[in-house]
Amino acid sequence: MAVLITGGTGQIGSFLCQSLLRSDEEVIIYDVKPNMENIKGFKDRVRLVEGDILDRNQMLETIRKYGVKTVYHLAAVVVIESRENPVKSASVNCLGTANVFEACSLADVERVVFTSSSAVIGRPDSYQKSVVTEDDVPHCPPDPYSATKIMNEVFGQHYYSRFGLKTLCLRISAGWGPGRYVGFTGVFNDMIRKLARGEPASLPQDFAYAKAPLRWVYVEELGDCLAFAGRVDEAKIRRRLYNVGTRRPFTPVEFVATLKQILPEAKLQAEWRDKPTESALNVAGPSGLDFDCTRFYDELGYKETLGLKESLERAIAFERAA
């Protein structure tokens, strides 16, 4: 029996691969355009299938060929590209995800873990409260990416309720760390990469609202969160969607202070803001709206292993070794 990861050579997917390999899982990566750089350290320990989630028959054949028991669906067109190419976003994120659910249902896969995003929450003024949970219905998604992720959440629930497919959606606050250096959080990762290499860098203004409650998860920990979701006892699952982020939020000020503790000579310029940028207002956390994640810990029993300082130390070590 094997596990399959769509988008397995992406930033998060590559760390999920490593987490699964540490548990001696047989890992199948299903990726339309593999990023070999992200898996160069362990490519000989996984099977790589160059496959498209828009090709349902290929997806189904791959699942059956390798006797896949669990599917982790991560493949997606992300925020910036979704805004620039909404038709591609709708095709890949919506139809592609529906194909994954359909293939898994036909193949009697035991569980499908798939990802959504805190971006579905939208602007904080839609809620009139300071913290949102899984009980809050998303209001007015701000862009194509957010809209497609809401549809994925709905389809995941439908395939569970109507067809009995055991889906589990992780609505992720954000993942940060090595492996992606473009896009909304990518510029944040690029800042860390530059500082780790002794280069000057500036804190991006989208993340400079001093009071922002961030529950961003370091990608290594996020890989462990996903692997855990694929193995957790079905009896513990009380809902088909869980917010996933750090148990306690940290502010950008705390992040910078911790970074300077590790790298006291860091050439970091930070200009703090007293309110979010217009772009940051569309994302829970940077917008000032907290994104409660306690149920993932309290109901499912996940144990957080990396604090902020250790996560930063690992990110810096990774970038220096690259």
pLDDT band (50, 70, 90) for residue 187 = very high
Pair 159, 189 in one domain: no
pLDDT above 90 (res 8)? yes
pLDDT in tens, 194-212: 999 999 999 999 999 999 9
pLDDT in tens, 248-293: 999 999 999 999 999 999 999 999 999 999 999 999 999 999 999 9
Environment class of residue 183 by beta-carbon count within 10 Å: exposed (0-12), middle (13-18) or buried (19+)?
Answer: middle
pTM of the model: 0.97
Does any domain span residue 300? no
The per-residue pLDDT for 1 is 82
pLDDT in tens, 12-23: 999 999 999 999
For residue 126, what is the domain's CATH number? 3.40.50.720
| Residues 1/64, Cβ–Cβ less than 8 Å | no
Domain that holds residue 202: 175-214+247-289+305-321
Interatomic CA distance for residues 207 and 281, integer angstroms: 11
For residue 179, what is the domain's CATH number? 3.90.25
pLDDT above 90 (res 183)? no
The per-residue pLDDT for 82 is 94
Does any domain span residue 192? yes
pLDDT above 90 (res 140)? no
